[in-house]
Every structure is written in structure tokens, then in C-alpha cells.
A and B are shown apart, each in its own frame.
Chain A
């Protein structure tokens, strides 16, 4: 006697608890009514019970579990060390990258001093004419006053009796920097030009370089394209002075302000930590 076609599959599903409760109930009702399916169910059930009753059938060697545990512990420990090594390497790479970026940022010449250096070089090779030529600071101050959005008073060099001015004013012109007007003044000392740029735009603010403090002023010293550059900010105006004179750091100030009247200023200059 063969079981019903559809129910043959259901016998195994029922034996393996794969039917939903309503399906199982329906199948149980069918078993009551169908002798053929009942007989087949009992045969399948008997085989399943014999195998399940012999659980676990295969004995696991006692030492096998110990070897498996040792393998897991050994591997996981090695993986932990590997992860630590990877984490340490990543940290080192990030730290070196940050250090490199920091070094690059602090060693590069900011835009305003680099711009000032380019202007200076252009003037030095006669590629940048001046708008006004005058050695009188009052004349140039007045000229700049009418053309710039900020006021600049050019001081006259305080000469003590018996002293000579170490430099002289040559002239001025207007420039554009950072979307704003900038004043460009040219001095001359020993036949070599000295450039001074003055701007009010925030992009011209001094950063980086070798810094020195004198009172409320902080001076930034750079070397760029063989030029000595000093920048500082005073009363929201940003200054940048470019010379070809080969001195380093605060020594540059001595060139122009080496007179007895101003010696106090550069003597107070003290190097600061890089910012």
C-alpha cells in the first residue's frame, strides 16, 4: 500500500517538525483516515528514531577538543598582535603625516610675504614702475592717504647729530592684494632696493616663519627666493618688508634701525616658539 502522492512529502516534513501547527494538525487528521500514509509514517518514524536514539553515533576523540581549543587560542592571540601591529603602524603613519603637514605649513612662505618678494624682484629688474617718486615721507604719506582705504604715516628716520640716514625713500605705487588695495613703498640702501608693502586685508596677516616679539608686536622672518622678508601687524595693518641684505632673523632690523635712537627696539626682540 503506497502513501498518497502529496502526503508522501508531508510525512518527512511532519517527522522533522517542518510543518506549521495548522499543517501538522491537518496531516494528523489525514493519518487517522489514511492507512497507507499511516504505515509509511511509521516506517519513516522508526528509521528516524533509531538514528536519533543512537546520538551522537560518532565518538569525538577526547584530545581533539583540546587541540581545537589550542588552535583557536593560538590563532586569536596572533591576530590580536597583528591588529596591534597594524594599529601601531597606522598611528605612526598618521603621526608622521601630521608632522610633515605641520612642518610644511610652518616652513612654507605665506602668500603676502611671497607676493611681496615677487613685487620686490619685479621692481629690482625694472619691471614695476612707481606711481610717485619722492624721498619725502610727508609727500608720500599724503599721496597714499588719498588713495588707500587706510591711513599710513611714514616716519622720518630719527638722526642724531653726526649720524647719516642709512637708507632713503625712493617712491611708492598702488597694488592689489587679496581683493584690496595695498601700498608699495621703495627705499634704497647701499644702492639696493628695500620694499615695504602695507595692506589691510585679513589675507595679508602674518603667520609662520621665525617669530620674534617686541612689546605688543610680533615679527615674522622668512627667507624666500634668496630674499630676507619681515612681516608684522600693527593696528590692523599688515606690513611686509623685503631686502636683499643677507642677514637672518632680528639682525635685519639693525640695518635700518641701527641708529642710537632706535637701538632699544631691536634689542628687545626675543625669539619665540614657532606657532
Chain B
């Protein structure tokens, strides 16, 4: 396998997670990653170097383009905003509340899945894959400021959703 192929393979798990966050479906996510690999391997313009640092954001961009093209052929996703039932009295929630709760990984995945796509992908790229704002901006093809504002909004929504998922121990006792 070439150095490029090895770097691409090393991105597999990260690409799958990104695909999973975009599709919200494991089988579709794998198809999306496979298609991304095919496009990446057939690409005539590759990153200058084949290091993982260079290949990873480039591969994320390809995956996102493949996803966008597929999505154009389907119905557009309805933008999601938390309803009144999702609203939490943030003044009553101390910052430690979230940490005190024993949230399952599946619940966190559920919370991320509940976000609109624009926020979902920025959360996955930053919080799960650890990409810098600059790399995320490159993947999304948007200014760095947009990355920051989407991330801020995504965290706000996530917080509300996570607080709603599991009742506070204090509330259970009461």
C-alpha cells in the first residue's frame, strides 16, 4: 500500500464518525466512506504531502462533498430548533449539573443526532475529531468566524438537549 493509501486508511475511523454524524445511519455512513475512498483514490489533485495531517482535512472535504451531492437528490433536512418543551431554565442549572449526570454514550450520540446538520458536523469535527477552526473552515468551505458561531450555537443547543435527556439526581430524589 502506498503512503497515501496508508494515510487514507488511518483516517477511516474519523471519516466514519463524521459520516455517521451526517447520515445518522451506520449502514449509510459506511457507504459514504467507501464512496469517499473511491473519490480520494481516483483524485488527480491530491494533498502535496501524504501525511495524515494533510490527508485528513482533505478527505473530510471529499466526504462532505459526496454527502452534499447525495443530499441534493433527496429532500432537504428540516432545520431543527428546540421547542418550548426542550427549553431548560438555565439559571437554575449549575455548570456542574451536566457533569454530575451519568449520561450514556448513546445518549450523547442521540443529542448530537438531534442537532441540525450544520451544527452536528461542526461538533463532530471539533469535539470528537479535534480539528482546529482553520481545518474545519477548510472542510466546510466557510470563514473561521462561521465555524466559531456555529460551534457556539451547537453547544448551546446540546446543553439544552443533554439537560433534558436525563433528570438531575436532585430532581429524582425530590
* A contacts, CB < 8 Å to B: 8-9, 12-13, 16, 18, 39, 42-52, 54-58, 60-61, 64-65, 67-69, 71-73, 75-76, 79
**Chain A residues in 8 Å Cβ range of B33:** 64, 68
Docked CA distance A73–B16 (Å):
19
- Cross-chain contact A47 with B158 (CB below 8 angstroms): yes
> With A46-B95, A73-B1 in contact, is A61–B30 under 8 Å at CB?
yes
Q: Is B49 an interface position by the 8 A CB rule?
A: no
Q: Which residue of B lies closest to A55 (CB)?
A: B128
Q: Is the beta-carbon distance between B12 and A60 smaller than 8 angstroms? A: yes
Residues on B with beta carbons closer than 8 Å to the beta carbon of A16: 126, 133, 151
B105 within 8 A of A: yes
Cβ–Cβ < 8 Å partners of B30 in chain A: 61, 64, 67
Contact of B148 among A12, A55, A56 (CB under 8 A): A12
Given A18-B133, A51-B127, A64-B17 contact (CB < 8 Å) = no
CA distance A12 to B98 in the complex (A): 18
**Is there an interface contact between A54 and B152, defined as CB atoms closer than 8 Å?**
no
A13 to B17: give the CA distance in the assembly, Å: 24
List of 9 A-B pairs having minimum Cβ-Cβ separation, nearest first: A42-B95, A51-B127, A58-B20, A54-B108, A75-B41, A72-B5, A46-B98, A58-B17, A60-B16
Contact A44 B155 (CB under 8 A): yes
Q: Is B140's beta carbon under 8 Å from chain A?
A: no
Give a binary string over B114-147; 1 marks a CB under 8 Å from any A CB, 0 the rest: 0000000001101110001100000000000000
Please determine whether B20 and A71 come into contact, CB atoms closer than 8 angstroms: no
Q: With both chains docked as a complex, state the minimum distance between the C-beta of B87 and any C-beta of chain A, in angstroms.
A: 15
Given contacts A18-B133, A51-B128, contact A64 B12 (CB under 8 A): yes
Q: A9-B152, A51-B123, A67-B34 are in contact. Are A57 and B128 (CB under 8 A)?
A: yes
A46 contacts which of B96, B105, B124, B151 (Cβ < 8 Å)?
Answer: B96
Q: CA–CA, A41 to B41, complex, Å?
A: 43
Does B26 touch A at the CB level, under 8 Å?
yes
In the complex, what residue of chain A is closest to B111 when comparing beta carbons? A51
Asked if A57 and B99 sit within 8 Å, CB to CB, the answer is: no
Once the chains are docked, how many angstroms separate the CA of A72 from the CA of B41?
7
Docked CA distance A75–B41 (Å): 7
Chain B interface size band reads 35 or more
Q: Are B37 and A47 in contact (CB under 8 A)?
A: no
> B residues within 8 A CB of A18?
132-133, 148
> Which B146-174 residues sit within 8 Å CB-CB of chain A?
148, 151-152, 155, 158-159, 162
Q: Which of B37, B97, B108, B132 contacts A51 (CB 8 A)?
A: B108
Q: Are B108 and A69 in contact (CB under 8 A)?
A: no
Residue pair A61, B26 in contact (C-beta under 8 Å): yes
In the complex, B73 has a CB within 8 A of chain A: no
List B contacts of A50 (CB < 8 A).
98-99, 103, 108, 162
Question: If the complex has contacts A18-B133, A44-B155, are A58 and B2 also in contact, measured as CB distance less than 8 A?
Answer: no
Residue B52, interface by CB 8 Å: no
Per-position binary interface string of chain B over residues 54-82, scored 1 when its CB falls under 8 Å from any chain A CB and 0 otherwise: 00000000000000000000000000000
B155 contacts which of A48, A57, A61 (Cβ < 8 Å)? A48
When C-beta atoms are compared, the residue in chain A nearest to B154 turns out to be A47
- A68 partner residues in chain B, CB cutoff 8 A: 9, 12, 33-34, 37
Residues 4-58 of B at the A interface (beta carbon under 8 Å): 5, 8-9, 12-13, 16-17, 20-21, 26, 30, 33-34, 37-38, 41-42
On whether the beta carbons of B98 and A73 are closer than 8 Å, the reply is no
Q: Which residues of A contact B105 (CB under 8 A)?
A: 54, 57
Could you say which of A8, A45, A51, A56 contacts B95, with CB atoms under 8 Å apart? A45
In the docked arrangement, what's the CA distance between A73 and B9, Å? 10
CB of A51 within 8 A of CB of B1, answer no
